Amino acid sequence: MEKLILSEQEIVNAVCVYVSSKKQVKPQEVEVELMYDDDYGFSAEAYVAGRSQILVKANLIEALRLWLEKYTNYNPYAGIKLILDDEEGIIAHIN
C-alpha cells in the first residue's frame, strides 16, 4: 500500500471527531487550532462550548488512528509521522 498524506484540514477534522467522541458533542461543535513549537513539538487546542483543551502529540496520533479506522482502509496502527511543511502547514504521513 502506498503512503497516505493527510492535509492540515484532514488532521483538524480527525481532531474534531476525536474530541467530539470524548466530549459527547457533534464534530461540528468543535474548533481546533493546530500548533507547533520548537521546544514542545506538535500540539492542538480544541474549543468546545466555550472551554479549551490542549492536546499533545500523543493525542493527535490517537485522533489520527481513530480517523484512519473510521474513514479509510488504512491500518490505524501503521506508522504515523507529523511533519511541519513550509507550504502546506502541519501534515501527516501514514505508512
Q: What is the pLDDT of residues 8-47, one digit of tens each?
A: 999 999 999 999 999 999 999 999 999 999 999 999 999 9
Whole-Å CA distances, 4 to 19, 24, 31, 59, 74: 23, 29, 24, 20, 8
Mapped onto helix, strand or coil, the DSSP state of residue 80 is strand
Domain coordinates of the chain in residue numbers?
Answer: 9-73
Question: pTM of the prediction?
Answer: 0.93
The C-alpha atoms of residue 20 and residue 46 are separated, in whole angstroms, by 10
Confidence at 75, pLDDT banded by 50, 70, 90? confident
Cα separation, 89 vs 86, in Å, equals: 6
